[in-house]
Each structure stands twice: as structure tokens, then as C-alpha cells.
Chains A and B, each alone.
Chain A
């Protein structure tokens, strides 16, 4: 399935993806309710972190109430009504790509905005892509 992919170069750490994400979901501008994070470290490190929609999702396995499912279309989704906000999935994700909504207090992850992700649209240096990993691999084989 297609997911949000960062090619590993060119992120400037501006966090436009995070703010666009919050806006797409909450119609408000903020950072802490984001589903895509930007790591900024001194002096040269900036990169985004976002849900990989794993085939064997550790977040799902960690959820004590079965609120997280891997859908047939490949998406890993949180049922906000079942979620009890315990944070087990947040800890379990090996990438740190599961978050906790600061006011709703439920787990949140990337939902690809239903297919047209706001972060990809907004990324000023255009380094986020909605792509199938295998396609990225093909490109890498060709481009080196």
C-alpha cells in the first residue's frame, strides 16, 4: 500500500507537515496533536517521523482493549471510541509514530487523510511523498 515516505534527504525541519496535519484533522493550527513529527537536532539533523502502517503492528499487539486494527486496505487505525488512552501503543511503536491527542486523550496515528495527505501537499521542500515502498525501492535501484 502507499504510505507517507521521506526519501531521507532535504527536510529542513520547518514542521509545516505537523501543522498541516493538525489542521487537516482538527481545523486548528497546533503542533502537539500532530500525527507526523519532525525531529530537529543540533546542528544538522532534521527528519520527519510518521506511521509505517506495519504489517505486524506492535501498537495493535500492545493495545489492551483491541482499539487498534490493521484494515484490509492496509491502514492501521485507532478506534477512538474504544481507546482508553493508556498510551501502551505510544510506547510500543518502534518509530515513535503513535501519538496521544493532547485534549481528546486518545491515541492518534497517520490516517493518510483519506488518501490525500495534507503533509505531502504542504511540505515546502517537497520531500514527503505518498508512495508504495516497493516503488521507492525500484527508483532507488535505478537512481542509486
Chain B
């Protein structure tokens, strides 16, 4: 099999679960040249193949597992892969990224991308063994958690090295924020893509790939790989990541008053010391692990030796897990956080949404908007870790109050009423990640404009959060200091957010890890350009200008997907808490975010209209005239 471009396998695997038909089709060269991979590919396919207003749980929704031209190579962090669909949690663009080993394995089986159509009549799993693809019964896998499912599939095929992506009980029950798991602790976490699998009666996708991926200019590529690895090894923040992993952020954020606490009521948590990286390292650390060929190696396994959760051994939690299941619920018991994080992985729940929906209910309880009786008699006072763990179980199995919470906090609040809506911390229907735009100003804009809802990973900027002045000067020019690094100022924030969103669109198409560019800030667009050109042999990729053009094309197309669903500037909002309630304490006391000015500037830089819609001219300039035409068509619902 030879494909004219290096890095790619040159095939897309389509599987129709309804008809049990599978088809390997060639990867169109124009798709690779114009959209690069991963997120770019998915944007084009979902925009073309889905219609506005489609129910995300309908069989017509597509579920895409994608890789990019660097996936499976020796580029550090190239084990990343991603899933895409219209999202059950939000009804808009859905995207979730993941580490582990599944992405490389899919490529070694010969596919850049897997596109799943339809709904199987009964429970099935998909078995991809290089060129042999089968839809098999998953009757015996039903009701199994994600670890059991992985083990059973490996055992059935007599191969411990098969990679398995699967859902747990939560996905089977269509919990709106169910995730897809692989490799036991790696999650395609956000936007509820596990429920898409559940709606398709697809319990798991198992893959064995015995082939290999070649690049266009092997010598040049390996030179870049060596250099990239050296840079990772020399970078001090990367060293820290290797030692502690993302829990490092607990102390950083505590210092700047951005450690979201009790449903974001404040940015200081009195129990932060019990959850910070030093404490975890000292008391709970058991082992360092890593995704595929990664030199950063941020994955930590922890073990609880004492107390109620004694005996728990599990990978994680990441910073976001500590935030969502810990500080945001007022919980400082690391054992409970690790346990809850493990349960989320086993049942297949997104850790952030799960923690946030509980934090929201706790705040409603604090304010007397729900009674204990309404909550199955549970005492929802802040910091009640037993109740938090119980609620994770109830959500996953949709029992009692868990059935309400399983709909996501926006829907749950709508049902509950009585002013509970005011305390939902979300954007576009997705629960908020652990940043606070009041004391990390660019995060306000990042949350507001993120294409998948209140998310940090599509455009989070760290130069103003962590004060990376050298990085800011290098990327944007010295003249923009100090404002660009000021966490309390709006100036230049639209510029850096747009640049991050563009760079990350490329990162998410290659696909490589966030922990190599955003934080710690090792690679940026020019590195990605050079690696892409050497890998694929496409000279144009080597020019940063062309990369930005591809990035803008991807960002505009994803945005157009949401515009077609009826979204506009009014949806680029952040919870009122960030714009109206001044930060009550800490270094950023009194701060609020002025979103309006940043938004206006962001739309201007994007060349969108005042309503946040890509203009016909902007789209046409990016080669998306067909998208402009589609957006002009009257909407049929």
C-alpha cells in the first residue's frame, strides 16, 4: 500500500452498524492538503454529513475516531488521538482527545480515521484486525465496566496488546456526559461521546495493527524528533511534569487565586495543601507511566494506604479531576478524589462534568434551593466526600437523583427550576473546566468562544496565567509586555487566544499533546510546520503562513458547524459569576472579567461579523465558499 503523502496510511474505514457493512475508502488527497488530519478531517466530515438539528443520539450521527500524520511516529507525544460527533451534552460540535496507545494502533492497522454510521440492532463491538473488520456481538460485555470490557476483549482474541476503546455503564445508559475510555485510565472525556457509542449500541472498538507508518523524509524527520526530544528533556517545566504530573497546577493556581472552589464561588481553597503535588508525591505516589513514546511522561499512578479508601490504586487524578471532584465540591480528602476519579474511569463518566454537576447541586443545597428529600436524603453540604462518591455511582447507573444529574447540569436545572439555573457553571451547555476568568483573564475568552462549550483545551493561554514573559515576548513581541502577561487585563487577550486556538487546531490535527505546547510551552506553530512537512513531504506545510491558513480554515469550519445549529454571539457567554461577582478574596480580590471587549476584538481578528458569525468573505477566502452557501440556506428543522 503506498500513499503519495508520508505520515498518512491513506485509508478511511467506514462502518455502517445498521447494515453491518464496512468499507475502506482512500483518503482524499485534498482532505489531507486542506485539513491536515484529526480535527481538520472531522470538521469537514461532520459539516458535510450531518444536518442541522439532528438529535445527537440518532443513528444518523457520525462517530469519528481520528489520527493525524504524526500519530504513531516517534515525535514526542504522538500517541494522541481523538473522537468527534455531534455532542449529546450540548447539541453542538463534539470533540474529545486522549492519550494512550489506541491511535497509533489504529494507524498501524492501516487507517487514518474510522467513521461509524448507524445503530446496531443489538449490543455489538467492532473488531479491526488490520484489513479484517467485523461487527461482533457484545451481549456478554453489556453491564461491564471499562476495565472488564478491555480485559474480556483482549482475552477473547488471545492478544494482550490489542487496543480497546469502550464505554462503561454510563455510556450504555446514555448519560449525557459519558466518556469513552481506553487503556484503563485514558479518557476521551468531554462532550458525552460515550453516549453516542451507547446510542449506536456499540460497546467497544478493538483494534490490532501489525503494519507500520512511514514518513516522506525519514532523515529530516528523525533529526527533528531528536531535537524535539532534547528540548523536552531540557525544559524545566517538562521536568516538573515528569515528576509530578498536572497536579502541579494546584499550588500554582492556589498562589494566583484561581483554584476554583465550591462551584467557583472563590479561587482559594483552604484544603489546597492536602491536594497539591507535593502532598500527593509524598503520601500517595506509586508509579510514573506514560502515553505512547512520550518524553514528558506525565501520567502518575497513586495508591491510598490509609483510611476509608485504603487499597485504592489508580492512575490520576489530573489537575482537572482534583478541581472537579475535589476543590469545586469543597473536598480535601485525596482518597475520595482518587476513588471518585477511578469510578468515573470504570463507569465511563467525564470527570469534569461529573464533578461540576455535583458541585452545582451542592450550591443549590447551600442556598436552600433543593431539599435533602429531593436528593435521596443525602446531605449535600460542601466537603461531604461520601456523598460525592455516592452520587458518581448514582449518575452512572441513573439511580435516584443520579437520573436527573445524568442529563447534565443545564437540563437538570431546567427541570428543577426555582432559580437553580443561576448556579450552573457552564458555557453552551458544557460544565466549566477548572479556570477562572476573573483571575486568569484570557480564560474568560477561552471559555466563552470554545467550540465545544466551557473548555480550556481548545485555546487556553498560559502566558497570563503563569506569567511566561519570555514565551510571550518570543511569540508576540516584547512591545506587548507587560499587558500581555497581566492576568487582570483584557489587553492583547483576544490576540493570544486566537493564536492559541489556531495553533491548537494544528496540534489537534497532527495529533500531538497539549502538554508540549500550551503548558509546558515547548513547541509552537513553526515546530509543527517543520515536523508536518518532513513527515508528509508536503512542502507547503513547512511554511508557517500556510499552517495558519489551515488552522483558520479548521476553526471557521467548526464554528460554522455551530452557527448552522443556530449559535451566535449570544452563546459566547460565560457564567455571570465571572462578570458580575467580584472575586471575593486572594491576590485577585475584586476582579471581574470584561468579556465584551475581548469578544469584540476576537471577532474582529477572526474577521467574523458582530454576531460572531464567519462572514461569506472570510469563508470564501479560506476556500470554504460551499460552507458560506450552506449557512445561507434557510434552515429546515
Contacts and interface: CB of A to CB of B under 8 A. Distances in A.
A and B are partners in one complex rather than unrelated chains: yes
Interface of A: 10, 12-16, 19-20, 22-23, 26-33, 42-44, 46, 102-103, 122, 124-125
Interface in B73-89: 73-74, 76
Interface of B: 72-74, 76, 101, 104-105, 108, 147, 161, 184, 209-215, 218, 222, 229, 233, 286-295, 297, 299, 301, 313-315
Given A16-B74, A122-B74, A28 B213 contact: yes
B208 to A, nearest CB: 8
Given A29-B74, A43-B315, A12 B299 contact: yes
Nearest to A14: B290
A32 B108 contact: yes
A28 B214 contact: yes
Contacts of B289: 12-14, 46
B184 A42 contact: yes
B220 to A, nearest CB: 13
B210 A102 contact: yes
A28 B104 CA distance: 13
Contacts of A26: 212
Contacts of B293: 14-16, 19, 122, 124
A27 B161 contact: no
A14 B291 contact: yes
Given A13-B289, A30-B211, A44-B286, 13 more contacts: A12-B290, A14-B289, A16-B295, A19-B293, A23-B74, A27-B218, A29-B73, A30-B209, A33-B210, A122-B229, A124-B290, A124-B294, A125-B288
A28 B215 CA distance: 7
A46 B288 CA distance: 10
A136 B291 CA distance: 29
B1 to A, nearest CB: 11
Nearest to B291: A14
Considering the complex of A and B, which 6 residue pairs feature the smallest CB-CB distances, nearest first?
A30-B212, A28-B212, A14-B290, A102-B210, A12-B290, A124-B295
B58 to A, nearest CB: 36
B297 A124 contact: yes
Contacts of B212: 22, 26, 28-30, 33
Q: Which of B222, B293, B294 has the most chain A CB atoms closer than 10 A to its own CB?
A: B293
Nearest to B313: A43
A27 B214 contact: yes
Contacts of A43: 184, 301, 313-315
B281 to A, nearest CB: 16
A31 B301 contact: no
B109 to A, nearest CB: 10
Nearest to A32: B210
B161 A31 contact: yes
A121 B204 CA distance: 36
A134 to B, nearest CB: 30
A23 B210 CA distance: 14
A7 to B, nearest CB: 15
Given A12-B299, A14-B294, A124-B229, A32 B213 contact: no
Contact of A31 (B108, B147, B313, B314): B108
Contacts of A10: 288
Contacts of A13: 289-290
Contacts of B101: 15
A23 B75 CA distance: 12
A30 B108 contact: yes
Nearest to A43: B313
A68 to B, nearest CB: 23
10 contacts: A14-B293, A19-B292, A27-B218, A29-B215, A31-B209, A43-B313, A44-B286, A44-B301, A122-B74, A124-B297
A124 B291 CA distance: 12
Nearest to B213: A29
A42 B299 CA distance: 13
A3 to B, nearest CB: 23
A117 to B, nearest CB: 15
A125 B72 CA distance: 19
Contacts of B222: 23
Contacts of A12: 288-290, 297, 299
A31 B215 CA distance: 16
A13 B161 CA distance: 12
Contact of B213 (A20, A30, A46, A125): A30
B372 to A, nearest CB: 37
Q: Which of A32, A43, A122 has the most chain B CB atoms closer than 10 A to its own CB?
A: A43
A43 B300 CA distance: 11
Contacts of B291: 14
A72 B166 CA distance: 50
A134 B135 CA distance: 53
Contacts of A20: 74
A10 B294 CA distance: 14
B248 to A, nearest CB: 17
A103 B211 CA distance: 8
A16 B76 CA distance: 9
Contacts of A19: 72-74, 292-293
Nearest to B150: A42
Nearest to B342: A43
B147 A42 contact: yes
Contacts of A103: 210-211
A122 B78 CA distance: 14
Contacts of A16: 74, 293-295
A121 B229 CA distance: 11
B292 A15 contact: yes
A30 B212 CA distance: 4
Contacts of B72: 19, 29-30
B371 to A, nearest CB: 40
A19 B222 CA distance: 13
B228 to A, nearest CB: 12
A27 to B, nearest CB: 6
